[in-house]
């Protein structure tokens, strides 16, 4: 802080907020009003107001081309010249659809309006009776007054009606009306005891919350009595430190300013908050706008917020008041505060903000002095965002910076791109084809009619009283539009709304599926985009994140390396997978491991208790099992190692941003609130080892070091981000006063910043240990430090403050300054954390692979970690060749191209030509399980260039699995886009974090996992699930059902319209295409609304070929979706031709009956009139269409049968009822005459038989001689071959497909190919039935496993992690009689002492021991020499030799 120099080259700040000072002339317009305009804080997510609902809703609905078309047809029908007999009835279908849609929109918008009003009228305390120069009183326009008056009158009318209705009910019961409470009196608040008068007085300082409500605390040196809310140990020996003089931060309050003293905080509404206002927020209240924090109830200026409304994270985050504003604690202080806030423009980034507060710092003793110009930077840590909730803080005073639509939460609203399903996109072309067909039919009608009139001497010349148009051309034009009305059903207006109803029902079924309900977090599968459910049935490629998606994102500290010594025992899933592919009996090895870890755990806990009776040690939560680590702290390996181990744990307890949480007093228990579960695991392990973080104060942290409380001053924290890949804390030590920088981060980042030429042996051993940890599937970090002199720190701190005060480019400047001090580090060691696989991941991946779906893993982890996880989750197997793609020169495109050519030719005999890529696009068969590709982010950047992208895609297409490691979020999205567009396939992306959002939005279907850390991915996804294992059911069951249903329903919908429309068209052949109606006009209107709509819609909702258990047992059934065979253009035209054929039969069967003469009814009336002939044809067509739809259904039950029968009977019922009234005109008594004639029933029966025989015959031939897989499986279900699925429900067992199965999709297994089966040998380490998830804090169980398990997933007595001896034999190690050490076991597993294939990390020079040992500090200007043996293929079966 201090004087804030302003960079002259920076562009002018767009937003300047002036507090208690007049606006400068450049900020005022000619009328004296502020030039700056700020958004109102009243938000409206609703589309409509009561005044504009009808016109706006109609306007939006008529954006649909189909609605415009049918409006045009309805308008045409109004004119008698076009022959529509009843225009009013003709408008019914359009009106019904518009009303249904409008009702749906009204209900949705009403709910949004209620929520908007609730939010806008939420109470908040605003400073009143003072002047805010940044805004003026609003001049409400006449239009806004009309809208507000209309809304107000409607609300009052509704409220009055409800009140009258309630009073009437009460009076009817003889009671007395209850007192109706106003909304403001019903809002619950801890401050509701205050009277309205007390709300208007000046704010008085409030005491800190009591211990039971304030779980987090800060030490206040000004308090008389010690506060009891911080975490304490019995009889702590709190060390005092000699703190240097505190820095003067300044004060925005002008001590000489004369104020009226009238200002007060008064309760008002959110919608009245304006930019530049002072507001006061109480505990548990939401923040109404983006607010800069000036002061809080805590003297250190800290407050806690919950941000789950923004990013889904439920953990609390700490925010800090400006140093210069912490004395603003009263309303009178707000009047006296004089400063300017210079802010960046509003933007959507939730994690970034740059601003600066500037003021004149005046001397209280010298009122005549102008004062010194001072500035303080404002960052995201000083900003409370709208939508956050204040927690564990009594009150906050802040200055409003952004309001309404300019707040970050509103700018992020609706960022998820709109997606349309593939069938919906293709459907537009089919509708266009139908429209073209309609155009041809209308043209034919118009031309024939015009030519007929022009010829003369025709029958119509004797029976017609002249033509309508008066001339042949006009007659043809009129007939054209008449035909448009007549054949309007050819373009199916009801198809769109039918598909919406079907997809809504499908989304409901997905949401209601209890088998996808994750009970632990009470989370069902939640569809967020309910209109793409059919896309789930066509997925060919799945792109998955690893951490939190395949794994639990529940971190457990397992191992570490300190000063060249490796500690910790863990038998991880990846290690078991590595041993399994080497031929080791992992059951025997695991049994030994579990037995050993039980003894080690008991020994370690005993040693920890002997050293210090740590009150915060939770025996059940211990995950770091390393008795030798405790022995070394006690000096067994010498004083140097003892100090190194103790210092290492102290650094873990200091270098973080974790908040301690006192969850219980008896016994004393601390849990940690961290933004990353990795940090919580590191700090929890330090706590278990006697270095417990017990309190975070305003200036530092308090750590209980072996029973003694010590306060460490935190001078600066350089936070972690994805670009830095490290975080640092600058600490002043209490004993010596020395300043240290502690840094933790990715090993490659830390190694590049070590002091050149030093610690060579330590670097080598640490790198080797880290490589071992990575091979075991552990996530590794390096820990380093640097001592800083006072002068060095002061000089750096001055530069840091200048960078922090910048408004423009602040992050870049701060990164540059941080980079300058994070150099010349000394290595301390490294950590290894396990992130266990989620339940059922291997089984899910295996069943997806059997379905023909290709899974790619895109992760930011190390290559070795990803490979080992790939083996443990069935993505890779021993028979695969791993293609390691990494060019020798990182940026050489030519070299990368040669490497691509080499791999394509050597492994697959391909050249990468366009013809080969075109063949690959058409080939949807799964690749042979012979190759897998591994690539890192640097190499991926090269191959994603345009000239190499297609070759790289062709290489990936030939590989069974692809692992992209060390990739950025943008690279994940680029890979997804490359596959989606390059191969023209359907893709699905699944992830759990903010770094997966780009990939999720890029894919055709995005799935978010509701993880324990945050739900950013869920907020932007199309479907949200609780665990990865639910993906198989979502895709293979609901996706396949939805795709098949929508595809079959759409084809049948087009078919039924063709039958009806062409029956009308054939009639035109015999009346010179004059547009006469064969059917009674109501038949045309009700055909799609009542006679045929329900069966086809029910088909789309409930039809089912096989149930869910069989769908999962035979995943090969899904491949029809990958091949897109349920909806094709061929299928469309087959159904169209079938419809044309049946229309011919329906019409001409009746025509042949009447063409030689007519019949007479019992009353003597002839039956050969147009209306009665229409009954013959119409009833036959309805029976045929509904029977045809039922024939195409797989599932026949009483519901379908009942609906089909009712739909068929509907036309008979309507004919009987409607023809009974004289208003029906020529149709009067038609039912009585037709239904009494035997010829009608005989013709109908024959027509139905002749129409359905071709389809029935085709189905019989296809199922008997050309059966599909589904036909065979359905037959096997009927034979009882899948009964075991129902007797053993929930076991997930699969049935082998019968040998009689079709070879169309269900491929015969290769005897040399490994078959995925669910036996104990394949999945012994992590059975879903016994390995529940865990939480990071306070619930880690007695073993290394997450639920008291032994680290292998099996619950038992104890845990396993064999001990290790140091790899440096020169150092003394305790002689202990124990099983083979963990590090030695891993060495033997890797077979490093025998001439075998080198590891991928070594050969490819990724982050590995080979690379790290050679890596000098690139930040110190030392040239890095890197040797590479890159691009070699590696066969894992070589390792077994």
CB-based contact 928:895 (threshold 8 Å) = no
Place of tokens 């209240």: 285
**How far does Cα 480 stand from its chain's mean position?**
51
Identify any residues that bridge with 933 across adjacent strands, giving them in sequence order: 883, 962
Residue 688 neighbours by CB under 8 Å, 6+ apart: 608, 614, 616, 617, 618, 621, 622, 624
Q: 62: closest CA among 92, 32, 102?
A: 102
CB atoms within 10 A of CB 261: 12
**How far does Cα 705 stand from its chain's mean position?**
42
Residue ranges of the annotated binding site for ATP are: 545-547, 679, 720, 744, 779, 859-861, 966, 972, 995-996
Report phi then psi at 969, rounded to 5. Answer: -55, -40
Q: At CA 604, angle to CA 603 and CA 607, rounded to 5?
A: 85
List of E strands, 563-699: 565-567, 659-664, 669-673, 691-696
Q: At CA 1047, angle to CA 1042 and CA 1051, rounded to 5?
A: 150
Query: Token digits for 1162?
Result: 């019992």
The strand pair at 1005-1009 and 986-991 is best described as parallel
What's the burial of 947, exposed, middle or buried (CB within 10 Å: 0-12/13-18/19+)?
Answer: exposed
DSSP 247: P
Residues 667, 1230: Cα–Cα separation, whole Å: 89
Residue 334 neighbours by CB under 8 Å, 6+ apart: 127, 130, 263, 278, 328, 397
Residue 1166 annotated to the active site = no
Residues 953, 940: Cα–Cα separation, whole Å: 11
Query: Token digits for 469?
Result: 């148009």
CB-based contact 825:784 (threshold 8 Å) = yes
Residues 1270, 1036: Cα–Cα separation, whole Å: 14
Alpha helices in 1073-1197 (DSSP H): 1081-1086, 1093-1102, 1108-1113, 1119-1122, 1129-1154, 1170-1191
Residue 1104 neighbours by CB under 8 Å, 6+ apart: 1041, 1194, 1195
**How far does Cα 1063 stand from its chain's mean position?**
50
Q: 1006: closest CA among 511, 512, 419, 506?
A: 419
Place of tokens 């990739």: 967
Virtual CA dihedral for 576, 579, 581, 585, nearest 10 degrees? -90
Residues 1335, 1352: Cα–Cα separation, whole Å: 17
CB atoms within 10 A of CB 1179: 25
Residues 633, 641: Cα–Cα separation, whole Å: 7
Q: 1121: closest CA among 849, 853, 917?
A: 853
Residues 1336, 1191: Cα–Cα separation, whole Å: 56
Q: 570: closest CA among 1344, 1297, 1277?
A: 1344
Which one from 298, 535, 545, 1405 is the annotated catalytic residue?
545
Angle, helix 946-957 to helix 969-982, in steps of 10 degrees: 70
What's the burial of 783, exposed, middle or buried (CB within 10 Å: 0-12/13-18/19+)?
Answer: buried
What's the burial of 953, exposed, middle or buried (CB within 10 Å: 0-12/13-18/19+)?
Answer: buried
Q: Which residues are catalytic?
A: 545
């Amino acid at each position: 802080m201090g004087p804030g120099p302003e960079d002259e080259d920076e562009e002018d700040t767009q937003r300047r907020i002036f507090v208690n000072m007049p606006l400068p002339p450049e900020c005022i317009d000619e009328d004296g009003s502020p030039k700056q305009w700020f958004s109102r804080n009243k938000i409206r997510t609703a589309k409509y107001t009561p005044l504009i609902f009808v016109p706006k809703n109609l306007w939006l609905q008529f954006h649909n081309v189909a609605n415009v078309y049918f409006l045009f047809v309805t308008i045409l029908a109004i004119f008698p010249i076009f022959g529509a007999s009843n225009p009013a009835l003709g408008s019914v279908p359009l009106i019904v659809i518009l009303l249904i849609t409008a009702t749906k929109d009204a209900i949705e918008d009403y709910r949004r309006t209620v929520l908007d009003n609730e939010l806008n009228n939420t109470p908040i305390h605003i400073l009143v009776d003072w002047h805010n120069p940044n805004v003026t009183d609003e001049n409400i326009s006449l239009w806004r007054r009309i809208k507000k008056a209309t809304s107000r009158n409607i609300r009052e009318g509704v409220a009055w009606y409800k009140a009258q209705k309630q009073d009437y009910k009460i009076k009817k019961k003889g009671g007395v009306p209850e007192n109706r409470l106003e909304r403001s009196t019903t809002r619950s608040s801890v401050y509701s005891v205050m009277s309205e008068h007390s709300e208007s007085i000046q704010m008085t300082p409030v005491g800190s919350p009591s211990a039971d409500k304030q779980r987090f605390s800060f030490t206040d040196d000004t308090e008389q009595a010690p506060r009891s809310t911080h975490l304490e140990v019995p009889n702590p020996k709190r060390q005092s430190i000699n703190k240097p003089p505190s820095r003067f931060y300044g004060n925005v309050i002008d001590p000489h300013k004369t104020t009226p003293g009238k200002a007060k905080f008064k309760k008002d509404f959110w919608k009245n908050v304006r930019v530049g206002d002072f507001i006061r927020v109480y505990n548990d209240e939401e923040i109404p706008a983006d607010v800069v924090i000036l002061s809080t109830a805590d003297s250190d200026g800290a407050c806690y917020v919950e941000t789950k409304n923004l990013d889904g994270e439920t953990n609390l985050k700490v925010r800090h008041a400006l140093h210069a504003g912490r004395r603003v604690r009263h309303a009178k202080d707000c009047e006296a505060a004089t400063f300017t806030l210079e802010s960046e423009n509003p933007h959507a980034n939730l994690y970034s903000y740059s601003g600066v507060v500037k003021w004149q710092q005046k001397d209280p003793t010298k009122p005549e002095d102008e004062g010194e110009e001072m500035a303080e930077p404002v960052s995201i840590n000083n900003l409370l965002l709208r939508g956050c909730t204040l927690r564990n803080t009594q009150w906050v005073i802040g200055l409003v910076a952004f309001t309404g639509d300019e707040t970050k939460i509103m700018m992020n609203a609706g960022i998820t791109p709109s997606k349309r399903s593939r069938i919906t996109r293709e459907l537009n072309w089919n509708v266009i084809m139908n429209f073209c067909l309609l155009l041809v039919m209308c043209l034919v009608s118009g031309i024939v009619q015009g030519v007929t009139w022009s010829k003369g001497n025709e029958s119509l010349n004797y029976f017609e009283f002249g033509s309508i148009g008066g001339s042949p051309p006009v007659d043809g034009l009129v007939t054209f539009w008449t035909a448009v009305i007549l054949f309007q059903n050819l373009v199916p207006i009801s198809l769109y709304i039918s598909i919406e109803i079907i997809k809504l029902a499908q989304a409901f079924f997905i949401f209601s599926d209890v088998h996808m309900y994750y009970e632990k977090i009470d989370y069902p599968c939640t569809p967020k985009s309910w209109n793409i459910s059919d896309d789930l049935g066509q997925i060919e490629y799945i792109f998955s994140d690893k951490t939190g998606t395949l794994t639990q994102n529940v971190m457990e500290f397992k191992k570490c390396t300190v000063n060249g010594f490796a500690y910790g025992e863990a038998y991880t899933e990846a290690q078991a997978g590595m041993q399994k592919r080497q031929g080791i009996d992992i059951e025997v090895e695991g049994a030994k491991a579990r037995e050993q870890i039980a003894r080690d755990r008991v020994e370690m806990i005993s040693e920890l208790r002997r050293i210090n009776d740590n009150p915060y040690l939770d025996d059940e939560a211990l995950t770091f099992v390393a008795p030798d680590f405790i022995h070394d702290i006690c000096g067994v390996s010498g004083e140097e190692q003892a100090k190194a181990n103790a210092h290492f744990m102290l650094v873990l307890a200091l270098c973080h941003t974790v908040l301690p949480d006192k969850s219980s007093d008896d016994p004393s228990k601390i849990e940690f609130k961290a933004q990353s579960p990795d940090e919580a695991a590191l700090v929890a392990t330090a706590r278990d080892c006697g270095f417990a973080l017990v309190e975070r104060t305003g200036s530092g942290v308090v750590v209980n070091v072996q029973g003694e409380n010590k306060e460490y001053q935190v001078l600066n924290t350089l936070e972690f981000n994805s670009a830095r890949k490290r975080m640092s804390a600058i600490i002043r030590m209490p004993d010596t006063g020395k300043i240290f920088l502690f840094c933790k981060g990715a090993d490659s980042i830390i190694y590049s910043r070590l002091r050149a030429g030093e610690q060579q042996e330590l670097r080598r051993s640490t790198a080797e240990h880290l490589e071992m940890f990575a091979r075991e599937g552990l996530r590794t970090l390096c820990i380093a430090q640097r001592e800083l002199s006072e002068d060095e720190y002061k000089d750096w701190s001055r530069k840091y403050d200048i960078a922090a005060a910048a408004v423009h480019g602040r992050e870049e400047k701060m990164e540059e300054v941080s980079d300058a001090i994070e150099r010349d580090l000394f290595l301390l060691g490294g950590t290894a954390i396990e992130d266990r696989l989620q339940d059922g991941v291997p089984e899910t991946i295996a069943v997806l692979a059997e379905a023909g779906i290709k899974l790619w893993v895109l992760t930011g982890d190390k290559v070795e970690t990803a490979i080992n996880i790939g083996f443990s989750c069935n993505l890779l197997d021993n028979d695969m060749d791993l293609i390691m793609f990494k060019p020798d020169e990182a940026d050489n495109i030519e070299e990368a191209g040669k490497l691509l050519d080499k791999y394509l030719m050597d492994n697959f005999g391909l050249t990468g030509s366009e013809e080969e890529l075109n063949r690959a696009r058409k080939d949807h068969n799964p690749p042979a399980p012979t190759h897998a590709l591994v690539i890192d982010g640097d190499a991926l950047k090269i191959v994603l260039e345009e000239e190499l992208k297609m070759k790289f895609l062709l290489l990936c297409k030939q590989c069974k699995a692809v692992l992209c490691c060390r990739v950025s979020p943008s690279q994940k999205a680029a890979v997804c886009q490359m596959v989606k567009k390059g191969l023209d396939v359907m893709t699905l992306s699944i992830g759990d974090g903010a770094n997966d959002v780009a990939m999720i939005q890029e894919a055709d279907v995005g799935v978010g996992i509701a993880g324990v850390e945050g739900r950013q991915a869920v907020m932007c996804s199309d479907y949200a699930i609780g665990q990865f294992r639910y993906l198989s059911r979502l895709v293979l069951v609901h996706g396949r059902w939805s795709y098949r249903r929508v595809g079959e329903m759409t084809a049948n919908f087009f078919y039924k319209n063709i039958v009806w429309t062409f029956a009308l068209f054939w009639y035109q052949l015999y009346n010179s295409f004059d547009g006469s109606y064969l059917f009674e006009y109501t038949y045309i209107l009700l055909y799609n609304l009542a006679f045929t709509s329900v069966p086809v819609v029910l088909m789309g909702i409930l039809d089912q070929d096989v149930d869910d258990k069989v769908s999962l047992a035979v995943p090969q059934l899904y491949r029809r979706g990958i091949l897109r065979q349920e909806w094709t253009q061929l299928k469309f035209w087959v159904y169209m031709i079938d419809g044309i054929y049946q229309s011919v039969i329906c019409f001409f069967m009746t025509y042949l009956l009447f063409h030689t003469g007519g019949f007479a009814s019992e009353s003597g009336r002839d039956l050969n009139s147009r209306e009665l002939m229409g009954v013959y044809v119409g009833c036959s067509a309805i029976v045929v269409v509904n029977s045809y739809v039922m024939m195409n259904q797989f599932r026949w039950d009483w519901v379908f049968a009942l609906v089909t029968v009712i739909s068929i009977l509907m036309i008979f019922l309507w004919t009987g009822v409607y023809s009974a009234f004289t208003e029906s005109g020529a149709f009067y008594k038609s039912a009585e005459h037709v239904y009494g004639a035997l010829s009608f029933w005989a013709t109908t029966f024959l027509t139905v038989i002749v129409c359905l025989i071709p389809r029935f015959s085709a189905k019989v031939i296809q199922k008997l001689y050309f059966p599909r897989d589904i036909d065979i499986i359905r037959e096997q279900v009927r034979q009882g071959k899948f009964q075991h699925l129902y007797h053993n429900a929930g076991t997930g067992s699969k049935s082998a497909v019968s040998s009689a199965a079709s070879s169309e999709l269900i491929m015969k297994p290769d005897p040399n190919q490994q078959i995925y089966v669910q036996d104990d040998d394949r999945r012994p380490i992590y059975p879903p039935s016994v390995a529940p998830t865990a939480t990071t804090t306070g619930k880690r169980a007695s073993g290394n496993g997450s639920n008291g398990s032994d680290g292998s997933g099996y619950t038992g007595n104890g845990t396993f992690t064999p001990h290790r001896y140091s790899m440096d034999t020169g150092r003394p190690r305790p002689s202990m009689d124990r099983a083979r050490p963990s590090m030695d076991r891993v060495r033997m597993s890797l077979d490093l002492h025998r001439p075998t294939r080198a590891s991928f990390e070594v050969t490819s020079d990724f982050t590995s021991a080979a690379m790290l040992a050679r890596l000098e500090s690139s930040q110190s200007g030392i040239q890095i020499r890197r040797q590479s043996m890159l691009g070699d293929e590696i066969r894992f079966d070589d390792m077994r030799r």
